[in-house]
Structure 1
Amino acid sequence: MSTYRTATHKKKLMAAGATVDNIIIERFHGKIPDREEYQRLKTQFLKPGDTLVIYDLEALGGKRSAKNELEYYKAHNIHVKIVDIPTTAIDYLDNPEISNMILDTIISTLDYVIDHEIERTHKKQTQGVDRIRDKPAWNNYGRPQVQLPTNYEEVMQRWTRGEITAAAAMGLTGLSRTTFYRLAHQYKNGGLQV
């Protein structure tokens, strides 16, 4: 079975061994989770021992999705040919260990790339925060602090005495549920100065 996005992809898939009657056409963006045709292909058509031919790893979604999908196919003994990765397109029918080794290498590489991107993003975020820490912009950095309404203390006293419900207190103060309970916790523990 095969999946493709453009006519060029279709030609390359057919050159890699896909046949016209076994090609699934699905227009998609890799981040769209509901890919009905692909899910049907994966769960209903592909059986152990089958070969899935795809044009590139994006056909399986983003890097994390592609890694998970490749692990799924490996676990279910479904060979994956990726046209963009020529070593996967070679038939190793007489030696499936080589095919598994190549798939393991691709999965390991995706693992490395994902971990490296997370580490790089975290490092850049930390550097950005460090750059502005000593500058006047630091005072405006982050989420603005919630301004307590003028009636906050009065409403909180009524609420803690049980005179009004939490919903009524939220309505009187104009605070969202999450903010109300977060501030109420601080208020009760003496961590909020009104």
Structure 2
Amino acid sequence: MEHVSKTYYYISTFRTATHRKQLQAVGATDDNTVIERFHGKIPEREEYQRLKNHWLKPGDTLVIYDLEALGGKRSARQELQYYREHDIHVKIVNIPTTTIDHLDNPEISNMILDTVISTLDYVISHEIERTKKHQTQGVDRIRDKPAWNNYGRPQIQLPANYDEVMQRWTRGDITAAAAMGLTGLSRTTFYRLAHQYKNGGIGV
């Protein structure tokens, strides 16, 4: 039996009454609307998962008010890509170009959805770059400060005999290998701490 295309509307109780009215204005009724109800806990979006995985079929249409109905930007991008690959049309009320039917040329609808996906890709990429830039700026601000010596490294508990051993080593009484053995420090840690010790960066 040939599948008859259907249109479903998805909304959550987190959305405002205004959004619900706008969905009703474009055809939402009690019979074709899936409502996600939350009860003060982290939403698992069970109704949405049921709609996506069991009800929506190729050729159907999903209508939402905005991309937030699909989650955050990354989640929305993944969901839109899923619907694109499964030939499910998505109409987003606050993106009017997606709500226009192109029955004579369905590829136009696909092109519009591709544009939305590409825009999300750009926004996500921009946010990643901005985060990296802020992190780099933060590192640059402490690069010339004493805190830089310990940046990104866990604080090391100095051995109780560290000062005594370092004095003997700096006087030339013992070798570096002997100092490492007495303090129990690895070669890398020993020389890193030794550099700080000689420059007054470690108070013992």
Report the AA paired with residue 145 of structure 2: K
SS in 2 for 1:24: strand
Report the AA paired with residue 17 of structure 1: G
Question: d(CA) in 2 for partners of 1:192 and 1:126?
Answer: 25
SS in 2 for 1:59: helix
Corresponding residue of 1:84 = 94
Q: Where do 5+ consecutive residues of structure 2 fail to align?
A: 1-7, 161-183, 191-204
SS in 1 for 2:154: coil
Corresponding residue of 2:113 = 103
1:3 paired with 2:13, answer no
Would you say the 8 A contact 1:63–1:114 is kept in 2?
Answer: yes
Report the AA paired with residue 19 of structure 1: T
Q: Map 1:57-136 to 2 at 5 A.
A: 57-136=67-146
Q: Map 1:1-194 to 2 at 5 A.
A: 1-4=8-11, 5-27=15-37, 34-139=44-149, 141-147=151-157, 191=188, 193=190
* Identical counterparts, % of pairs: 76
1:2-21, CA deviations, whole angstroms, 9 ceiling, x for partnerless residues? 11223211111122232321
TM-score, with normalisation over the residues of structure 1?
0.71
TM-score, with normalisation over the residues of structure 2?
0.68
Report the AA paired with residue 3 of structure 1: Y
Structure-2 change in CA distance of 1:149 and 1:19 (3 Å) = farther
Report the AA paired with residue 35 of structure 1: R
Would you say the 8 A contact 1:14–1:20 is kept in 2?
Answer: no
Structure-2 change in CA distance of 1:48 and 1:149 (3 Å) = farther
1:80-138, CA deviations, whole angstroms, 9 ceiling, x for partnerless residues? 00011011111222221110010000000101111111011101110110011112343
Question: Alpha carbon RMSD of aligned pairs, Å?
Answer: 2.5
Would you say the 8 A contact 1:16–1:89 is kept in 2?
Answer: no
Matched pairs, number: 155
Structure 1 residue 35: Cα displacement: 1.3
Q: Where do 5+ consecutive residues of structure 1 fail to align?
A: 151-186
Question: d(CA) in 2 for partners of 1:137 and 1:190?
Answer: 22
SS in 1 for 2:27: coil
